[in-house]
Amino acid sequence: MPEVYEYVPHRLLRQRVRDIASGAEGELMAVVNENVGSVGFERWAWIAYIRGSSGREFTTAVANVQAAAGQ
Protein backbone atom coordinates (compact mmCIF):
# COMPACT_ATOMS: atom_id res chain seq x y z
CA MET A 1 0.00 0.00 0.00
CA PRO A 2 1.51 3.37 -0.95
CA GLU A 3 1.98 6.05 1.69
CA VAL A 4 -0.88 8.53 1.97
CA TYR A 5 1.28 11.29 3.43
CA GLU A 6 4.87 12.46 3.69
CA TYR A 7 6.34 15.05 6.08
CA VAL A 8 7.98 18.01 4.34
CA PRO A 9 10.58 20.37 5.86
CA HIS A 10 9.54 24.04 6.08
CA ARG A 11 11.46 27.14 7.19
CA LEU A 12 8.65 28.26 9.52
CA LEU A 13 8.21 25.01 11.49
CA ARG A 14 7.72 25.64 15.23
CA GLN A 15 7.31 29.38 14.60
CA ARG A 16 4.31 31.67 14.93
CA VAL A 17 2.48 31.92 11.60
CA ARG A 18 -0.68 33.40 10.14
CA ASP A 19 -3.14 31.70 7.81
CA ILE A 20 -3.90 34.42 5.26
CA ALA A 21 -7.13 32.66 4.21
CA SER A 22 -8.75 32.84 7.67
CA GLY A 23 -6.57 35.38 9.49
CA ALA A 24 -6.00 32.86 12.30
CA GLU A 25 -2.58 32.63 13.94
CA GLY A 26 -0.73 29.83 15.68
CA GLU A 27 2.39 27.68 15.68
CA LEU A 28 3.23 25.74 12.52
CA MET A 29 3.42 22.14 13.72
CA ALA A 30 3.89 20.22 10.46
CA VAL A 31 3.77 20.39 6.70
CA VAL A 32 2.55 17.24 5.01
CA ASN A 33 2.38 16.21 1.37
CA GLU A 34 -0.94 14.41 1.66
CA ASN A 35 -3.00 12.32 -0.74
CA VAL A 36 -6.37 14.04 -0.66
CA GLY A 37 -7.82 12.09 -3.58
CA SER A 38 -10.29 9.23 -3.48
CA VAL A 39 -9.84 5.51 -4.10
CA GLY A 40 -8.26 5.00 -7.50
CA PHE A 41 -7.56 8.69 -7.95
CA GLU A 42 -4.50 10.24 -6.34
CA ARG A 43 -4.38 13.99 -5.73
CA TRP A 44 -1.50 15.27 -3.66
CA ALA A 45 -1.53 18.58 -1.77
CA TRP A 46 0.85 20.30 0.65
CA ILE A 47 -1.11 20.82 3.86
CA ALA A 48 0.04 22.96 6.82
CA TYR A 49 -1.01 21.97 10.34
CA ILE A 50 -1.20 24.99 12.65
CA ARG A 51 -1.89 24.86 16.40
CA GLY A 52 -3.96 27.84 17.50
CA SER A 53 -3.96 29.50 20.93
CA SER A 54 -6.79 27.19 22.05
CA GLY A 55 -4.51 24.18 21.51
CA ARG A 56 -6.57 22.87 18.61
CA GLU A 57 -4.91 22.33 15.28
CA PHE A 58 -6.34 23.46 11.97
CA THR A 59 -5.17 22.96 8.41
CA THR A 60 -4.62 25.21 5.45
CA ALA A 61 -2.75 25.13 2.16
CA VAL A 62 0.96 25.80 2.58
CA ALA A 63 0.64 28.72 0.16
CA ASN A 64 -1.58 30.45 2.76
CA VAL A 65 1.07 30.37 5.51
CA GLN A 66 3.17 33.41 6.30
CA ALA A 67 5.26 34.47 9.30
CA ALA A 68 3.15 36.27 11.90
CA ALA A 69 3.75 39.99 12.43
CA GLY A 70 6.84 40.65 14.48
CA GLN A 71 8.57 37.44 13.33
Q: Which of 17, 21, 20 is nearest to 53 (CA)?
A: 17
Q: Classify domain 5-67 by CATH number.
A: 2.30.30
All structural domains of the chain with their residue ranges: 5-67
| C-alpha–C-alpha distance, residues 14 and 66, integer Å | 13
| C-alpha–C-alpha distance, residues 14 and 51, integer Å | 10
Tens digits of per-residue pLDDT, 3-14? 678 899 999 999
Tens digits of per-residue pLDDT, 28-64? 999 999 988 888 888 899 999 999 999 999 999 999 9
| C-alpha–C-alpha distance, residues 4 and 15, integer Å | 26
